[in-house]
Structure 1
Amino acid sequence: MKGENYMSIAFLLISILFYSTLTTALDEPEFGYNEKSPNGPRHWGDVKEEWALCKTGDMQSPIDLSNNRVEVIPKLRALKMSYKPQHATLLNRGHDVAINWEGDAGSIVINGTHFFLQQSHWHWPSEHTINGRRYALELHMVHVGPQPDGTNKTAVVTLLYKYGSSDPFISELAKYIIEEDGEKSLGVIDPSEIKMGGNLYYRYIGSLTAPPCTEGVIWTINKKVSSVSRGQVKLLKHAVLKRYAKRNARPLQPLNQREVQLFVRPQGKE
C-alpha cells in the first residue's frame, strides 16, 4: 500500500512540474521551423538565454541512426511499457498537435526507473533518420520520471511512419484535429492503442528537439516503421500551417561521439 501511495504522489509531483516547465517551454511562440527566419532552428539558442543549449549543447537531438554507429547490446534491459486509459486533451500548440493525458496513463520502465506518460505529439517529416532516410511522420511519447537526486528526467519513446495505410490511432482523433485551434477534450483515450510492434529499439541520450533543448533525455526509437496515409499527415500539417512552416522537424544534430545502442525486446514481453 505504501508503494502505491508513493507512486501516486510521485506521479502528481511530476505532472505539476511537467506542465509548469516542459509544456510551457514547448508552447513558447517565439520559435519556428523556417530555416530562413530569424527565429528558425539555427537561431533558437539566440532567441532566449535559457535556450542557449539549442546552440551550445553537445548532446542535441535528433540524430541519424546509422548502422555503422550502432552498438548492438543483446543483453540490454528491455523497455517495459504499461499504459492504461485516461482522460486526455487534444492541444493545438501552434507548432504541433499534442495529446496531454490528464491523469495517470501508465508508464514505462527503463533500468528500474518508472517514467510516467505525460504527452504525445507529432513531427512531419520525421526528425530522426535511419541510415540517412527521413520518414513521413514521427510520434513522440513523452514520459517523465523521478531520479535519486530529486530531479526529474525525460524519456521519449518514438515511432516512425512511412506513407501507406492509415494509422488507426490518428483516425480515431481526426474529427478533433480538424476543429479550431486550441484545446479540445477527448474523453478517455487508451495510449496502448498506439501500436509499437517490433522487437528492435535504438537507444541514446539526447535532448528535447524544441526549445529549451534540455539535454539528458533518454531516447528510445522503434526500429520497426509504421504506416500513415498522406491524408493523415496533411491533416496534421494543415492544423498548424497558418503560423508555422510546412514542416516542424528540427534539422539533424552532430552525434559528438555519443553511443547509439540497439537492443532486442524478447517476443511476448513488454
Structure 2
Amino acid sequence: MEPNTKTIFLFAMFFFDIFFPNILLVYAREVGHKASYTYKQKTDKGPEGWGNIDPDWKVCNTGKFQSPIDLTNERVSLVHDQAWKLDYKPAPAVIVNRGHDIMVSWKGDAGKVTIHQTDFKLVQCHWHTPSEHTINGTSYDLELHMVHTSAHGKHAVIGVLYKLGEPNEFIAKLLNGIKGVEKKEKDIGMVDPREARFQSKIYRYIGSLTAPPCTEGVIWTVLTKVNTVSMEQITALKEAVDDGFEVNSRPVQDPHGRSVWFYNHNV
C-alpha cells in the first residue's frame, strides 16, 4: 500500500472503530422488522422512507456512510498491500426464509476472514435480486452477501456479483433447501463457503447494512469478478421470499466523497 493511501485507510479504520460501536445486535434486529418496510420505491415504506418508519432507522436517511454504492473508477485508489486472508472450512448450516431474503446460517465454525490483523468470523450469507452494488453504473442480476463479525461485534461483508449464464455451483448445492425453505430453520448439513469462489481482485470501502436499521461501520469488500447464475436459481430465490420481496435490493446511495480502495491481486 502506498504511504498516503495506507494513512487514509488506517484513519478510516480508526474512525470506524470509534464512531461505529458494536453493531451485532442491531444487525439481528433487521430480521424482526421485515414486515414493516418494503423495497418498493416512491412509497411510504420504501427505501426513500425507511428513516421515517422507526426512530432507530433514522440513519437510513441521514447517514453519510450508507450502502450500497456505485463502485466507479473515478473514486478508486489503487492499493498494493494484502487485501485479506480467507480461512474458510465446511461447517453445519441451516437455511431460513426471513421473508425479505433467504439466509444460510452456519452453526459450526465455518472459518473467518482477516482484514488488517482483525479476524471476522463467518456467520451467514444471503442474496439480493438484482445486485445492490453496481460497477461503473452497471447493475447485475444477483448479489451474494457473506456476513462476518469480529469479537467486538464489528461487521465485514463480502459481496459477490452474478449475471445470467451457467448455473452457479454454490447455489446449485443449496437449491433444494431454497425451494423448500420455511420461516423456521431447516438443517441442510455441511456447507462449504469456499465453494462460493472468492479468488478475485476486489473493491473495499466503509459502508452500512443495506436494510434497516442501516447501521454504519461495515467494512465492505466487493469482488470484481462477476460469476454466473441460472434463471432457475434466481427464480427459486424470488419465489421463496414473501410476496413483494421478489425484488429486494436497495438503490445505490450517495458516496459523500468516500474513498474506495482497489486491491489489484488475488487473495
TM category (shorter chain) comes to 0.7 to 0.9
Deviation digits for residues 42-86 of structure 1, max 9, x if unmatched?
111111111111011010000000111111112x32211001111
Q: Distance in 1 between matches of 2:76 and 2:102?
A: 31
Contact 1:26 / 1:211 at 8 angstroms: preserved in 2? no
Residue in structure 1 matched with residue 160 of structure 2 by the alignment: 159
Residue in structure 1 matched with residue 187 of structure 2 by the alignment: 185
Map of 1:64-213 to 2, 5 A cutoff? Answer: 64-74=70-80, 76-146=81-151, 151-182=152-183, 183-198=185-200, 200-213=201-214
Deviation digits for residues 93-133 of structure 1, max 9, x if unmatched?
00000101112210000000000000100000000000000
What is the TM-score normalised by the length of structure 2?
0.87
Residue in structure 1 matched with residue 220 of structure 2 by the alignment: 219
What's the % identity of the aligned pairs?
45
Letter in 2 for 1:166: P
Structure 1 unmatched runs, 5+: 1-16
Q: Distance in 2 between matches of 1:18 and 1:68?
A: 30
Contact 2:238 / 2:245 at 8 angstroms: preserved in 1? no
What is the TM-score normalised by the length of structure 1?
0.86
Deviation digits for residues 226-260 of structure 1, max 9, x if unmatched?
100111111101111x4324310001100101000
- Report the Cα offset of residue 38 of structure 1: 1.9
Seen in structure 2, the aligned counterparts of structure 1 residues 78 and 245 have a Cα distance that, compared at 3 Å, is closer
- Report the Cα offset of residue 25 of structure 1: 2.2
Residue in structure 1 matched with residue 10 of structure 2 by the alignment: none
Deviation digits for residues 207-227 of structure 1, max 9, x if unmatched?
000011010100000001110
Q: Distance in 1 between matches of 2:260 and 2:212?
A: 23
**17-26 vs 77-86, which moves further:** 17-26
Seen in structure 2, the aligned counterparts of structure 1 residues 18 and 117 have a Cα distance that, compared at 3 Å, is farther
Contact 2:23 / 2:155 at 8 angstroms: preserved in 1? no
- Report the Cα offset of residue 180 of structure 1: 4.6
Q: Distance in 2 between matches of 1:90 and 1:180?
A: 7
Residue in structure 2 matched with residue 9 of structure 1 by the alignment: none
Residue in structure 2 matched with residue 47 of structure 1 by the alignment: 53
- Report the Cα offset of residue 20 of structure 1: 5.1
SS at structure 1 position matched to 2:257: coil
Contact 1:105 / 1:191 at 8 angstroms: preserved in 2? yes
SS at structure 1 position matched to 2:225: coil
Letter in 1 for 2:72: S
Letter in 1 for 2:145: H
**27-36 vs 108-117, which moves further:** 27-36
Q: Distance in 2 between matches of 1:185 and 1:19?
A: 23
**171-180 vs 124-133, which moves further:** 171-180
Contact 1:26 / 1:210 at 8 angstroms: preserved in 2? no
Runs of 4+ more than 6 Å apart: none
Structure 2 unmatched runs, 5+: 1-21
